[in-house]
Structure 1
Amino acid sequence: MAGLHDYVESLALRTGQGRSTDEAVLTLFMAGILRPRDARNSNELTATHIASVRRVINKWIDSGDRDRDRISRIANDGDYSESALDDAYKEAEKVANRRASKAKITFDRIGAELSGTIPRTRDEIKDAEERSYLSAARLQTPLEGRNDDEMIWDNGLVPLDALMFRDECPACTSRTSHMAGSLIGQREILKSACFCEINRARAIGGAISMLVDSMRDAALEVPTDATAQASVQLIANTAFRFLLRDIRKVSPDQPTSIAACTLFFLHDCSWLRSGAAALMQLSL
């Protein structure tokens, strides 16, 4: 059938030289080989591709984050007893301390310098990592323990896209009753989404993640590049400022990185709306 030969040939090329079929599927998915309008057509090619993408992303979810899963198991083993929760929190603190690496501190400083903001201390980076793991392990909501002052940037301004995150979307919150970053939450979110939604999260999430990295590199390489500097300033005043201050999230050299990115943007359409708005503004 039309297109099937090209699809199979692309898979063959990607699985050569010791590469896995899973990596090949994610590479084609990252490249957007299947257009949204094609996904509505029921045929062998689209069905095979969609099923393969779902299978590989589910496999990525099941491989899990070992630190997150260990923290979750510690709490569950004690049936969320006080002592078990204390042990889980101690483990989260230990993991966060390790994750607050020199590389993270360096990227945070570079992003802060480029955007004219205040770099975080190592303790602040560690606290953010700890909150992230406690949330993913379903031991704390993402904003628990944070006060209203922390929702304002260190320059005293409110993010340009703040209104997009003000209200929860009923459709998004209904995808799972668990924490979106947890293993079971990710499974349920992926299962509830149609392929067009998955592909949209891939397209917007992958584009904004790679573009911000490219802008940061351009601004560092050529400090006199007015366009790159202005683009960095724009992103620095949106929720995506964290991409300026962290290690590269999505790379064509690492096909599995698109799985994590897609799930992140799939769980909350506020990120999709903000990402689309940022891409539109940057293109203008």
Structure 2
Amino acid sequence: MGFHEKILVIDDSAIVLEMIERSVGDMADVITAQTGKTGLLRLLEEKPTVILLDVKLPDIDGLKLCRAIKADSRTKHVPVLLITGEDTGADAEATAFGAGAADFIRKPMHPAVVRARVKLQLDLEMRTLALNAANVELQRLASLDTLTGCLNRPYFISAADAELSRMKRHRYPVSIAVLDLDHLEHIGEAYGRAVGEEVLRGGATCMKQSLRQEDSLARLGSGEFGVLLPVAGAEGAKRVLTRMCERLHSLQIKGMDPDVGLSVSIGLAEVHLDDMHVEDTIARASAALSLARKAGPGTLRVA
């Protein structure tokens, strides 16, 4: 199996517990409990992958316990296999499924059947975990610019809007910078497209490494980037960006003249409490960027 499995068996019969442990003990760690109360404690402590639950326990009805497990946000995802009597009818099975049971094992239990049903649940859980991991990775990839590995514009806007909402609740400063890699088009013409792309990749990596952990960098356009700087007013953001520019200027790009350093023109704006949307702040930063471009490469202007 691809993860550490635990099976919790709640049954008051020592013979049943021993038989189940022999049947599935090589597939997972088996944890046992002989009362419902003990079973609940073990469930919260051990966080098992699968639960085998007898419907007849000395202290609580198994169906009631199954409902309690499924009603708790901490445990509702754990599949429950109910251990039932051989005379269990269709109505009782329907009631059990309604209580949240994933499957049944009827007494008298055959070890091969116990093993097969438990293995099925373990396999389903492993597939679910793999699917969830794949979905998380797809979401991560969907948030990134494929060339630079930075956030893409839609995700940056979403993250910045969330930061704007937090800033309005807690009243702390937030700044946004819009950067433009200077002479990117000239670099592409002089050194070729491959070097131009390496400037974008290398420059983005350098900028990310120069920012604070709480800052976010995104590629907004061809050579245009955005930086979200939480808990930073204009002066604090300028210090962070100045340090970034110094490191960027010393960056060496393979295929480029080593004497040619990279620089960025920067427009910086603080988020205002009356900004309805982060695009309002970005518009002010973009206007400041236009002034920075006119002033010459490597210039920073504050809106």
* More helix, by proportion: 1
Q: Greater relative contact order (Cα 8 A, min sep 6): structure 1 or 2? A: 1
For the aligned pair, the TM-score class normalised by the smaller chain equals under 0.3
Larger-gyration structure (1/2): 2
* More strand, by proportion: 2
TM-score, normalised with respect to structure 2: 0.21
